């Protein structure tokens, strides 16, 4: 049993370690060191302590022959790691003082670290929170992903329009990874199938090597650390010597270039499957390397492959790694000679699958020609799996292989012993919609695990003022047991305490205002309500509903400029997929609206709009602690869970939101009176879509909406190109699939309720603080405990 103690490190020890790394790891004398040198030296000094707990954890897991959890994900949106490490090791004061003694500023050094943006949004960030919670809970686990050279693109604006630039996080020195040239697997693609003597052999036509890079992920108090293992593609045969000798240098370098494309870039689209061969190659590359690695570790510790499900739990983060089903069956059957049925049973015993979206366009499916061309044996095995499932369930009507497609959702369901949704509502909708038939056949298989977020990053580290106040009030037990935030409730009844809570929020808002003034050149009123919507740009998330309501508010303010308006700063951030034209138009519209409103002398002090470029984890950490109002306004039934919604509530923002995803559960926890609810329910949405001209009717019934739309249509925000947004207005007034018009009136009503509540600070602060006190359930520690119990049958190796 591992009884680890967090490192006791003095400021002097840490200072000496920093200087030692500066000199001997980076060859730099302190007098000549730049910011990046200091940041790297501090990172290495911290990393040494993380590595100690990492070795201890790995040793414990090996000695105990522990069951390991393997989290397979095409995305890990981890952000910065230095502060995470320092905070979890409890070395904030020492690091600050050690740097000060060396003439360096702690915050400046930390801010030098680039974000590792190896993910698109919610799904990737969830994977990162899960890794941290797995370590905090002492559950032996590995995250497996791809070491993309380029993460999610960098966003800037030109004339209000989104411009994408490649993201190059690996050009800077990266402190956290350990290259593992010995952990190398040869991955095959394409080629032929040979059947001889009852055996099937796959002879791939092309090979690429997968090389491992390990990043330790340390948990709270450094008691445990797990591994994030990312695979990088290298040419198996890097250099075409005959071509070189012919003098064809470009051809000689080709194998290397081709192989590397596999881990070159993260696909920047969280909705539409582009059917691109490279994406499927990436998926198989990850899966094949991970399974090789998992089996190698299993073989080292155990001899009977039939025991695999007792020792190995593999979680598929959405269908992206779904080819793990056929690949594991192929290895067990073709390579290890188990009967097909048994191979399938063993694979199913190991595998489980999380669904993260019901949007039809995001449900992966591959044409069989593409799939079979790249993975001929896996296509055969998918058919065998499908047939076996049919035979066992003769009443089944849908096939995972209909329409010459391979449907990855169905395949994942059939190959998994548990399938989970990510919020209570989403899980029920899964049962009723995409997986209704499979759910009828396997009523035990679907379970819910409502998402959560790590409180270490999303409260303790990002909001030191609030977390300091909390710890002063109830001690620091909440950091590892977030539901203890409930103990704040008595303090919330104390006016003096509420003032301190408010002072923390106000100081966060001042910090943000200063930062925006410096970075964006826009100065905002820190006493205004900070109204924040930050997430990927998508029609279902309805950033256009928010901006329409803002336009209507501006128009009303201009009608009565001297009325008692609640000042608002409306903040947006989020990236649009490069190919998603409508989402990009919404960005431009928001920027155009901002230009007009911010320049309006009549309303400029009461209503400001700002779209902050290049949304990422670090920007979220800056914005969330400063928010008063959290916009969670998706069309009901479309947002599987949301996790930003949890971060805001935890940091003492009020939510304005629909009954969608985890909003439903947040409202239950914080209390209906502390949540601004509006809009249709998921079943209302289904009904409303059947109403003829639903949008036109809604517009006719609400003059505010009609006027706001008219301003968009008439070029009020695009005077240089009057019809720039005609199609946006037409969309909302026409098909309006996401029901912006139909929810507008209710949204306006709820927004004015928020305004009124904000004008009464005593009430508002109380409500905001209750949001913090009652959001403890949304810790990813709770979520991971749920997976460990209900899905993985995994345990903790910490004894505290």
Q: Count of CB atoms within 10 A of residue 515's CB?
A: 15
Residue 126 lies near ligand 26V (rule: CB under 6 A)? yes
Scanning 119-127, 191-199, 338-346, 478-486 for contacts with ligand 26V by CB under 6 A, the matching segment is 119-127
Neighbours of 263 (CB within 10 A): 23
What would the x/- binding string for ligand 26V be over residues 74 to 113, using CB under 6 A?
----------------------------------------
Residues 638/479, Cβ–Cβ less than 8 Å: no
Q: Does the protein bind ligand 26V through residue 637 (CB under 6 A)?
A: no
User: Quick one: 356 or 431, whose CB is closer to ligand 26V?
Assistant: 356
Instruction: Using the minimum distance from each CB to ligand 26V, give the nearer residue, 222 or 574.
Output: 574
The minimum distance between CB 651 and ligand 26V, in angstroms, equals: 17
Residues 265-304 contacting ligand 26V, CB under 6 A: 267, 269-270, 273, 279
Q: Lay out the site mask for ligand 26V across 460-499 (x = CB under 6 A, - = otherwise).
A: ----------------------------------------
Q: What does the block give as tokens for 510?
A: 């001042």
- Applying CB under 6 A, among 53, 643, 651, 779 the residue interacting with ligand 26V is 643
Work out whether 362 is an interface residue with ligand 26V (CB under 6 A).
Answer: yes
Closer Cβ to ligand 26V, 640 or 765, answer by number? 640
Kindly tell me which of 377 and 457 has the beta carbon lying closer to ligand 26V.
457
Of 160, 661, 679, 776, the one binding ligand 26V by CB under 6 A: 661
DSSP secondary structure, 498-511, as one string: HHHHHHHHHHHHHH
CA 768 centroid distance within chain: 25
Has 180 been annotated as catalytic?
A: no
Nearest to 367 by CA among 408, 395, 311: 408
**Closer of 209 and 318 to ligand 26V (Cβ):** 318
Q: SS3 sequence, 211-278?
A: EEEEEEEECHHHCCEEEEEEEEEEECCCCCHHHHHCCCHHHHHHHHHHHHHHHCECCCCCCCCCCCHH
Q: Which helix (H) or strand (E) holds 572?
A: strand 568-573
Of 532, 552, 483, give the one whose Cα is nearest residue 705: 552
| Residue from 79, 114, 121, 151 in contact with ligand 26V (CB under 6 A) | 121
Candidate list 86, 98, 123, 416; residue touching ligand 26V; CB under 6 A: 123
Looking up tokens 């790249």 gives 374
- Write each residue from 530 to 559 as x if it is in contact with ligand 26V (CB under 6 A), else as -, in one continuous string: ------------------------------
536, 568, 667, 774: the active-site residue: 536
Least Å distance, CB 527 to ligand 26V, is 32
Could you give the CA distance from residue 646 to residue 451 in angstroms, rounded to a whole number?
A: 9
> Residue 114: how many CB atoms within 10 A of its CB?
18
Query: Distances in Å between the alpha carbon of 49 and those of 39, 43, 177, 261, 651?
Result: 16, 10, 14, 35, 30
Q: Decide: is 53 part of the binding site for ligand 26V (CB under 6 A).
A: no
- 200 or 359: whose CB is closer to ligand 26V? 359
| Contact yes or no for 132/456 (Cβ under 8 A) | yes
Q: Is 541 a catalytic residue?
A: yes
Rg of the Cα atoms in the chain: 27
- Catalytic residue among 535, 538, 575, 667, which? 535
CB of 535 to ligand 26V, least distance (A): 9
The least CB distance from residue 700 to ligand 26V, in Å, is: 33
Q: Which of 552, 640, 708, 712 binds ligand 26V (CB under 6 A)?
A: 640
Q: Can 767 be counted among the known catalytic residues?
A: no
Name the active-site residue from 542, 647, 688, 704: 647
Rule CB under 6 A: is residue 321 a binding residue for ligand 26V? no
Question: Measured from the CB atom, is 114 or 122 closer to ligand 26V?
Answer: 122
Q: Which is nearer to ligand 26V, 180 or 276 (CB)?
A: 276
Question: Which phi and psi angles does 180 have, rounded to 5°?
Answer: -125, 75
Neighbours of 607 (CB within 10 A): 25
Pick 130 or 792: Cβ nearer ligand 26V: 130
Distances, alpha carbon 381 to alpha carbons 42, 278, 291, 342, in Å: 50, 21, 17, 14
Check residue 122 for interaction with ligand 26V (CB under 6 A).
yes
Q: Is 357 in the site for ligand 26V (CB under 6 A)?
A: yes
**Residues contacting ligand 26V: total by CB under 6 A:** 22
Three state DSSP letters for 679-724: CCCHHHHHHHHHCCCHHHHHHHHCHHHHHHHHHHHCCCCCCCCCCC
Residue 630 makes contact with ligand 26V by CB under 6 A? no
Q: Given strand 654-657, what is the order of strands in its sheet?
A: 607-612, 568-573, 529-534, 629-632, 654-657, 676-677
Catalytic residue among 505, 541, 606, 638: 541
Q: For residues 320 and 287, is the Cβ–Cβ distance under 8 A?
A: no
DSSP 8-state assignment for residue 433: T
Stretch that binds ligand 26V, among 122-130, 193-201, 399-407, 787-795 (CB under 6 A): 122-130
Least distance (Å) between residue 586 CB and ligand 26V: 17
Q: How far is the CB of 725 from ligand 26V (least distance, A)?
A: 26
Considering the complex, state which of residue 218 and residue 265 has its C-beta at the smaller distance from ligand 26V: 265
Segment contacting ligand 26V by CB under 6 A, of 121-129, 491-499, 722-730, 753-761: 121-129
Cβ distance to ligand 26V smaller for residue 593 or 682 = 682
Q: Contact 346/354 with Cβ under 8 angstroms? A: no
The only residue of 321, 625, 642, 776 in contact with ligand 26V, by rule CB under 6 A:
642
Task: Please pick, among 643, 655, 716, 772, the residue that the annotation labels catalytic.
Answer: 643
> Which one among 43, 104, 120, 771 touches ligand 26V, defined by CB under 6 A?
120
Q: Which of residues 380-439 bind ligand 26V (CB under 6 A)?
A: 422
Report, in Å, the least distance between residue 729 CB and ligand 26V: 27
Distance CA 627, CA 622 (A): 10
- Strands 161-165 and 154-158 come out as antiparallel
Tokens 């904030």 belong to which residue?
A: 92
Quick check: is 473 catalytic? no
Q: Which of 132, 149, 318, 743 binds ligand 26V (CB under 6 A)?
A: 318
Structure token pair of residue 347: 């694979």
Q: What is the spatial distance between Cα 641 and Cα 302, in angstroms, rounded to a whole number?
A: 39
Q: Which is nearer to ligand 26V, 267 or 497 (CB)?
A: 267
Q: What does the DSSP assignment read for 113-169?
A: SPPEEES-SHHHHHHHHHHHHHHHTT--EEEEEE--SB-SPEEEEETTEEEEE---G
574 binds ligand 26V (CB under 6 A): no
Catalytic residue of the set 28, 223, 348, 356:
356
Which residue is nearest to ligand 26V, using beta carbons? 122
C-alpha to C-alpha distance for 734 and 94, rounded to whole angstroms = 60
Exposed / middle / buried, residue 361 (Cβ in 10 Å: 0-12, 13-18, 19+): exposed
Task: Answer whether 779's CB lies under 8 Å from 773's CB.
Answer: no
Give the DSSP letter string of 154-188: EEEEETTEEEEE---GGGS--SS-EEEEEEEEEEE
For position 663 contacting ligand 26V by CB under 6 A, the verdict is no
618 is an interface residue for ligand 26V by CB under 6 A: no
Q: According to the binding rule CB under 6 A, does residue 650 interact with ligand 26V?
A: no
Binding mask 691-710 for ligand 26V (x = CB under 6 A): --------------------
Residues interacting with ligand 26V, by CB under 6 A?
120-123, 126, 267, 269-270, 273, 279, 318, 356-357, 362, 422, 451, 639-643, 661
Q: Which residues are catalytic?
A: 356, 535-536, 541, 643, 647
């Amino acid at each position: 049993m591992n009884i680890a103690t967090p490192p006791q490190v003095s400021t002097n020890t840490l200072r000496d370690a920093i200087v030692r790394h500066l000199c001997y790891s980076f060859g730099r004398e302190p007098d000549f060191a730049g910011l990046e040198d200091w940041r790297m030296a501090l990172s290495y000094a911290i990393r040494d302590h993380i590595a100690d707990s990492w070795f201890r954890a790995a040793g414990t897991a090996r000695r105990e022959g522990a069951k390991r959890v393997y989290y397979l994900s095409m995305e890990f949106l981890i952000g910065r790691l230095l502060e995470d490490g320092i905070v979890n090791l409890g070395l904030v004061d020492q690091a600050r003082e050690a740097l000060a003694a060396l003439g360096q500023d702690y915050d400046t050094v930390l801010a030098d670290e680039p974000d590792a943006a190896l993910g698109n949004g919610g799904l990737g960030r969830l994977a990162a929170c899960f890794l941290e919670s797995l370590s905090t809970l002492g559950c032996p686990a590995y995250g497996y992903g791809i070491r993309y050279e380029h993460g999610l693109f960098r966003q800037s604006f030109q004339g209000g329009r989104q411009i994408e630039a490649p993201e190059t996080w690996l050009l800077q020195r990266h402190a956290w990874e350990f290259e593992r040239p010995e952990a190398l697997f040869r991955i095959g693609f394409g080629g032929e199938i040979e059947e001889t003597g009852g055996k099937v052999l796959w002879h791939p036509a092309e090979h690429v090597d997968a090389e491992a890079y390990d990043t330790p992920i340390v948990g709270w108090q450094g008691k445990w650390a797990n591994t994030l293992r990312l695979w990088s593609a290298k040419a198996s045969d890097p250099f075409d010597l005959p071509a070189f000798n012919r003098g064809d240098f470009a051809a000689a370098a080709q194998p290397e270039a081709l192989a590397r494309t596999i881990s070159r870039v993260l696909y920047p689209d969280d909705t539409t499957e582009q059917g691109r061969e490279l994406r499927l190659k990436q998926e198989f590359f990850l899966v094949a390397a991970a399974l090789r690695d998992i089996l190698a570790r299993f073989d080292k510790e155990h001899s009977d492959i039939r025991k695999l499900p007792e020792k190995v739990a593999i979680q598929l983060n959405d269908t992206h790694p779904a080819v793990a089903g056929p690949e594991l069956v192929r290895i067990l059957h073709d390579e290890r000679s188990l009967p097909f049925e048994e191979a399938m049973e063993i694979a199913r015993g190991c595998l489980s699958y999380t669904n993260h979206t019901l949007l039809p366009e995001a449900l992966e499916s591959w044409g069989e020609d593409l799939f079979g061309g790249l993975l001929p044996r896996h296509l055969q095995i998918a058919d065998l799996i499908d047939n076996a499932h049919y035979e066992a369930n003769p009443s089944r009507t849908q096939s995972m292989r209909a329409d010459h497609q391979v449907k990855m959702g169905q395949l994942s369901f059939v190959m998994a012993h548990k399938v989970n949704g990510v919020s209570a509502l989403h899980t029920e909708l899964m049962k009723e919609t995409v997986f209704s038939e499979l759910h009828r056949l396997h009523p035990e298989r679907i379970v819910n695990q409502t998402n959560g977020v790590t409180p270490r990053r999303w409260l303790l580290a990002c909001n030191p003022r609030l977390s300091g106040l909390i710890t002063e009030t109830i001690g620091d037990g909440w950091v590892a047991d977030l539901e203890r935030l409930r103990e704040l409730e008595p303090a919330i009844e104390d006016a003096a305490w509420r003032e301190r809570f408010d002072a923390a929020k106000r100081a966060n808002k001042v910090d943000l205002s200063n930062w925006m003034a410096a970075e964006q050149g826009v100065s905002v009123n820190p006493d205004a309500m900070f109204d924040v919507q930050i997430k990927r740009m998508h029609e279902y998330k309805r950033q256009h509903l928010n901006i329409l309501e803002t336009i209507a508010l501006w128009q009303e303010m201009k009608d009565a400029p001297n009325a008692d308006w609640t000042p608002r700063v409306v903040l947006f951030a989020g990236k649009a997929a490069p190919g998603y034209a409508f989402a990009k138009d919404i960005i431009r519209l928001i920027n155009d609206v901002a230009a007009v409103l911010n320049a309006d002398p009549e309303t400029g002090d009461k209503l400001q709009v700002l779209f902050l470029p290049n949304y990422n984890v670090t920007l979220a950490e800056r914005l969330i602690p400063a928010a008063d109002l959290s916009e969670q306004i998706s069309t009901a039934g479309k947002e599987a869970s949301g996790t930003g919604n949890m971060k805001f509530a935890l940091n003492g923002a009020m939510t304005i939101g629909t009954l969608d995803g985890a909003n439903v559960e947040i409202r239950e926890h914080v209390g209906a009176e502390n949540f601004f609810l509006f809009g249709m329910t998921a079943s209302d949405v289904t009904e409303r879509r059947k109403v003829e001209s639903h949008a036109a009717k809604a517009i006719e019934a609400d003059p505010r909406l009609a006027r706001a739309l008219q301003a968009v249509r008439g070029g009020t925000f695009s005077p240089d190109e009057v019809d720039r947004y005609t199609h946006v207005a037409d969309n909302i007034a026409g098909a309006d699939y996401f029901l912006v018009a139909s929810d507008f009136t209710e949204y306006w009503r709820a927004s004015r309720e928020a305004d009124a509540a904000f004008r009464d600070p005593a009430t508002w602060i109380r409500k905001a603080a209750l949001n913090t006190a009652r959001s403890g359930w949304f810790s990813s520690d709770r979520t991971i405990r749920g997976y460990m119990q209900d899905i993985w049958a995994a345990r903790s190796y910490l004894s505290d």
